[in-house]
Structure 1
């Protein structure tokens, strides 16, 4: 092998290893984009009783047997959904979780920590309200589906859902062994077969973030008769919440 070819190989190897190290070290910075809270004061906040961090939930308290828990996307301030949700679901108490590092919640976001907080929130809400529906959007669809496989969720709505974050990441970086590198895999397909709550998947027809095939693969994992899907044909990943069908579909599902 010529000296020049050896040099090219070494440079390529160095680049490969360098990018791999960056992916390994900064992987969560590529998944989570924490946002500050824009809406709601202390009277619109609930603190979760977790011991290691301060976890904040934006709420609309209501003396009702029905409640809705919402898990947002990876760059979403969930408090911004409060006004629309309050109008669309007047008979539901509302609980919108700020992930660790988002809003006024402390700590750093990570899959297992977020999932722990989701279970804590559900148990607290279920103790107050007999019927608890769960809505998860984008990243939050993975949080919601895993929760619904472990708790008695009354209704489940998954907005722009994915089959697996690991699968999506592997397609972005096919030359890296992400199965062993990625810490937060969000493998929703693992939990779909255990879901018994009536489930609605809302898919964006022009989703530029979550490919349609990923949502379809997830839909195929549910047992027959448990889930149905609706496609908002002219919606993209980030603007689906502004479509008139969006809240109507959720309201009908609940």
Structure 2
């Protein structure tokens, strides 16, 4: 009996360790879901060569001081936003970045790689447009808030943001040592206290992906008066942009 129990315990341990290894090896396949670029033509594409990759950016060029840089979700083709953003921001140049592996960009996505690409894009855009508005949605909210803590942006908008990906993963994979396994943690809470520009946090009332507690926890990390929160009623994580309130909230200064 004792030997049988020991064998069962050993089998369970081996299976558990195997699952930990699989989770570590394949974790990025659970975070990033690359999408092809489906909207826009050759005149709306900027190809940004970097050291080892080429990043594709869907663009609407416009002369003037103002630009908008957009970082989308983990399964989003950002090019679909081009027409609605062009209508909502007629006085802004638009730059919608396709992460590595997305929309024709080469390479494979990771938190640090995406962040370095975001910095390179910002530095390029700011040479042409000194007033840069950052918009980050879902996964992209973590990219935008970290970038805003490193560069002089004019305004920040976070759509369905989270406190950290690690925190969400710990809830979803509670039996695993996520803290030690996860490589891309997207710790937005770490950067919020350093933000000092007007920030809008947009919440979907029925967000089924990012729990409200995670967004509110992030919101509390901002210094008083820096951020305002707006809830879009009746919408979920993937439908929040369907509301007519969405573009109005993106445009308006908090």
Shift of 1:123: 0.6
Q: CA deviation at 1:210?
A: 0.4
Q: State the number of aligned residues.
A: 254
Displacement after TM superposition at 1:247 (Å): 0.8
Match in the other structure for 2:220: 220
The aligned residue for residue 190 of structure 1 is 190
1:9 alignment partner in structure 2: 9
Q: Give structure 1 regions of 4+ aligned residues with deviation exceeding 2 angstroms.
A: none
SS in 1 for 2:135: strand
1:149 is aligned to 2:149: yes
Secondary structure of the equivalent of 1:234? coil
Which consecutive residues of structure 2, in runs of 5 or more, have no partner in the other structure?
none
User: Secondary structure of the residue that 1:15 maps to in structure 2?
Assistant: helix
After superposing the two structures, state which structure 1 stretch, 4-13 or 177-186, moved more.
4-13
Asked if the contact 1:157–1:253 (Cα under 8 Å) also holds between the matched residues in 2, the reply is: no
Is it true that 1:176 corresponds to 2:170 in the alignment? no
CA distance in 2: counterparts of 1:2 and 1:51, whole angstroms: 59
TM-score (norm 1): 0.98
Deviations 1:31-65 (A, max 9, x none): 00000000122211112241100101000000121
Q: Deviations over 1:126-179 (max 9, x none)?
A: 110121000000000000000000000100000000000001001111222222
Q: Is 1:69 aligned to 2:69, yes or no?
A: yes
Residue 253 of structure 1 aligns to a residue whose secondary structure is: coil
RMSD: 1.1
- Structure 2 distance, partners of 1:206, 1:187, is 23
Partner of 2:101: 101
Q: In 2, Cα distance between the equivalents of 1:156 and 1:164?
A: 18
- Report which stretch shifted further, 242-251 or 216-225: 242-251
- Structure-2 separation of matches of 1:26 and 1:11: 22
Secondary structure of the residue aligned to 1:63 is coil
| Greater Cα offset, 176-185 or 106-115 | 176-185
Residues 21-100 of structure 1: pairs in structure 2 closer than 5 A:
21-100=21-100
Provide the secondary structure at the position in 2 that maps to 1:183: coil
Indicate if the aligned counterparts of 1:195 and 1:222 stay in contact, CA closer than 8 A. yes
Which structure 1 segments of 5+ residues have no match? none
CA contact (8 A) 1:78 1:97 kept: yes
Shift of 1:2: 1.6
Secondary structure, counterpart of 1:85 in structure 2: helix
- Tell me, in whole angstroms, the C-alpha distance in 1 between the residues paired with 2:167 and 2:228: 23
Q: Kindly state the Cα deviation for residue 182 of structure 1 after the two structures are TM-superposed.
A: 0.8
Residues 217-254 of structure 1 deviation map (CA, whole Å, 9 limit, x = unaligned) = 00000001100100112110011111111111101138
1:91-142 Cα offsets, whole Å, 9 max, x none, are: 1110000000000100000000000000001011111012100000000000
